[in-house]
Structure 1
Amino acid sequence: MDMDLASLPDAIWNMALIKIVPFLFVLTVIVFFHELGHYLIGRWSGIKIMAFSIGFGPELVGVTDRHGTRWKLCAIPLGGYVKFFGDENAASMPSDAALREASAEDRARAFQSASVGKRAATVAAGPIANFILAIAIFAATAYASGIVVGDPIVSEVRPNSPAAVAGIQPGDRVTSADGERIRYFSDLQRYVSTRAGEPIQLGLERGGANKTVSVTPDLQTQTDGFGNSYQVAVIGIVANSEQAAFRHENLSPVEALNYGVSQTWFVIERTVAFIGGIFRGAEKADQIGGPIKIAQVSSQVATLGFAPLLNLAALLSISIGLLNLLPIPMLDGGHLLFYAFEAARGKPLSERVQEFGFRIGLALVMLLMVFAFWNDLSGRT
């Protein structure tokens, strides 16, 4: 097979654009809103802000505003940071030396000079901004395009599935799950998907009579339209368009907002259940992905349109918000842990203890990054 070497650079460039541009769009939106949360609450708390950066490394372009904050775009677009006065580095490790050399006015506006409540609020604002962004995206796309729903009526029961063992039959309408109302078939799917190995009490309507059955979902590996495999809990029932009456519904602004909140909560619940499942041995850690996986999925979803790419950004925004809440020094959750100790003992932890914690946190974050990269590379075909 002949290869046109002259066209090879263009082919490589086009492939890079297909892979990288959606990834950078998604990541930049998420990082910007995360750091904006820190920035806005920090400004509201009267803390002096030195820099707002998208990316790390050498500055590509930037501008300094009238408050003295340097807004900049840097060369390595894999994150970002807000640097407050009194921080030694982008990880917000405190610098007593910088405070000693500062003027009294600047010391009063340093991050470390703020009350523990204001510092905690400023740190927590980043992950909270990620959750608000996800709610806004889910709500906006649902309001603009509507949602597809179907009635929770069973069309088919897979042989030897948990549903078959529980005695569920075609034609049954699922009315509740552990006492929670099931309105649409998607409600049932969402409820089941996070509960592998956990018995669920399903309320059924069959021939005008109500009954309750216990079903325990199995964890199964499935494949999406792009060939990516994932694990999800299922009970083995199918709904078709004839019996479930799948249809398109438009939402009012209030309904769309409620939808955004419920979708965001579901993703949070699913992610927390997944992490817990890893420690229990019920989930496989090879589902954790890094930048390569995110770039791959972003490029795939981008082929479906802008709205699906926005929804992917919402999913990743939630994941990054939860990741930052882990109680690991260097992450927002680690800072919040330090502030909890400070509030309990009435004074901050010593600089030596905090420095040791940041070193441990750096090691843990690096291990997580290496593990995610390993999963990315080993999962490629």
Structure 2
Amino acid sequence: MLSLVMSVSSVVSSILNVVLAFVILMIMVTIHEFGHYTAGKLLKFKINEFSVGMGPKIISHKKKDGQLVSLRALPLGGYCAFEGEDYEEGAQPVEGAFDKQAPWKRLIVLFSGAFFNFLSALVVCAILFASYGETVALVGKSFDYAPEAVRSLNPNDIIYEVNGHKVYLIDSLSRYLAADELTVTVLRYDDGYKSTQTITVKKGKFTNTYVNAYSGNDIVLGEVNGQTVRLTKDVMVYRINGKALSTEGEYKNIVAALSDGETASVTFYAYGQEFELGLTKERLQSIGVYENTYSGLGISPTYARHKFGFGEAFGRIFPYCGETGLVILRALGGIFTGATGINDLGGPITTISTVSQVVSYGMPSILMLIVLISINLAVFNLLPVPSLDGCRMVFVIIEWIRGKPVNRKVETMINGIGLIVLIALMIMIDLLKL
């Protein structure tokens, strides 16, 4: 009976998460459309309807100027319908029609949807940073073979700046650390006092030894976050009897020098922690190892939430959101270069699934996802892809340069076909990932 209650509770929780995911996405799309609406109102465009949701109307209200405000059944978006926005055969000129407005006015209206998305990202980001702080990279583990300057850093030091670039995004850190020579500034908080330390080092080439194969499942290293960690492939073999290992040959020589039945003190490294065990020569011989050489600083960064002071946190909001937009642009560009694979993309099903999962992680994760999706909507809608605002802006710019509009029938056809292709691609991406 208890298991049945728990099962029902789990199902209800999952359904609520999905519903909340739809609500979050619809709010963000509504903000986008409200951007178009606000700009249109300010510039005296005639608006036929502002709709939250798609499909059949649930409720609606007609204003004195004839504009319809409606709530529709399907939580799959929304729209702001301007008079004269799309080509209609035999349509009569109407005052305030979209296609009769000056090009600069139309560009402002088209851009305002993305602008409102970015503005909402800034607001939510401010709430996130003020309430919960932001995710920062800590130095974490400094290995024995790391340069002396690196080993002088503390595990909880915040990696604040690399080669003059302040670190706002964790995703950007690996790109900054790709340089051969690095000047790294860290923030250190010691008994409430804030200080900085700057080091300049050249990356070295390091060789580490890792577990290649172990047939058993009986060597328990310890626990991390309440989860049992066992010896498995790719766990680093760090030291044997206090000696740091570099190569597979060193491992075999040290083990061979042990007496039969002798126990050695072995330090493994996994999940950002060291685990020290006593293992016999025979047990060590049953563990296959491999070596891997890489270029780096000899550290294993960890991540934590940190609240900066009000002034600094406020100053980090815009660059954080701006850099996030650049990361999204690079990812979109990677579609054409092959750097972004099918697993990095997602259609409506993937998006809803991801949002519903993140909802269960708590408010900081929800706010962070809202920031990411808001910026994603802003960037994506400004792309010059048929049916998106970016493509419509291209047509307006062409008209402005030529002094006469592009054939409205052709423009509407291109945007219509583009919309169908875009929806088909998003559905296909989700199907390919099943």
Same fold (TM over 0.5): yes
Deviation of 1:188 after TM superposition, in Å, equals: 7.4
Alpha-carbon distance in 1 for matches of 2:45, 2:324: 33
Is 1:111 matched up with 2:98? yes
117-126 or 359-368, which deviates more: 359-368
Q: Deviations over 1:215-243 (max 9, x none)?
A: 99xxxxxxxx9xxxxxxxx96732469xx
Which structure 1 residue ranges, 5 or more long, are not aligned? 88-92, 217-224, 226-233
Q: Is the 8 A contact 2:348 2:426 kept in 1?
A: no
Please name the residue that 2:245 is paired with. none
Please name the residue that 1:155 is paired with. 141
With structure 2 as the length reference, what TM-score do the two structures score?
0.66
Q: Is the 8 A contact 1:201 1:215 kept in 2?
A: no
Aligned-residue Cα RMSD (Å) equals 3.8
Larger Rg: 2
Q: Deviations over 1:316-362 (max 9, x none)?
A: 11111111111112110110111111111111101232134224412
Please name the residue that 2:431 is paired with. 374
Residue identity opposite 1:249 in structure 2: K
Q: Which structure carries more helix by proportion?
A: 1
Deviation of 1:157 after TM superposition, in Å, equals: 5.2
Distance 1:194 1:211, change over 3 A: closer
Q: Deviations over 1:168-220 (max 9, x none)?
A: 9544586743432x4xxx64734234579x646521479x995353699xxxx
Q: Superposition pairs for residues 79-98 of structure 1, below 5 Å?
A: 79-87=77-85, 93-95=86-88, 97-98=90-91
Deviation of 1:368 after TM superposition, in Å, equals: 2.5
Please name the residue that 1:192 is paired with. 173
Q: Out of 312, 317, 326, which is 2:374 matched to?
A: 317
Q: Is the 8 A contact 2:48 2:68 kept in 1?
A: yes
Alpha-carbon distance in 1 for matches of 2:81, 2:350: 29
Alpha-carbon distance in 1 for matches of 2:305, 2:74: 45
Alpha-carbon distance in 1 for matches of 2:336, 2:314: 34
Q: Out of 249, 261, 265, which is 2:307 matched to?
A: 249
Q: Is the 8 A contact 1:178 1:200 kept in 2?
A: no
Residue identity opposite 1:136 in structure 2: V
Is 1:122 matched up with 2:122? no
Deviation of 1:303 after TM superposition, in Å, equals: 1.9
SS in structure 2 at match of 1:47 = coil
Q: Out of 306, 313, 317, which is 2:363 matched to?
A: 306
Is 1:211 matched up with 2:269? no
Please name the residue that 1:145 is paired with. 132
Is 1:132 matched up with 2:119? yes
With structure 1 as the length reference, what TM-score do the two structures score?
0.74
Aligned length: 331
Deviation of 1:24 after TM superposition, in Å, equals: 1.5
Distance 1:70 1:281, change over 3 A: same
Residue identity opposite 1:191 in structure 2: S
Please name the residue that 1:54 is paired with. 52
Q: Is the 8 A contact 1:31 1:79 kept in 2?
A: yes
Please name the residue that 1:237 is paired with. 299
Alpha-carbon distance in 1 for matches of 2:68, 2:180: 53
Which structure 2 residue ranges, 5 or more long, are not aligned? 187-196, 206-224, 226-294
Q: Is the 8 A contact 1:19 1:295 kept in 2?
A: no
Q: Which structure carries more strand by proportion?
A: 2
Alpha-carbon distance in 2 for matches of 1:8, 1:147: 34
Residue identity opposite 1:143 in structure 2: A
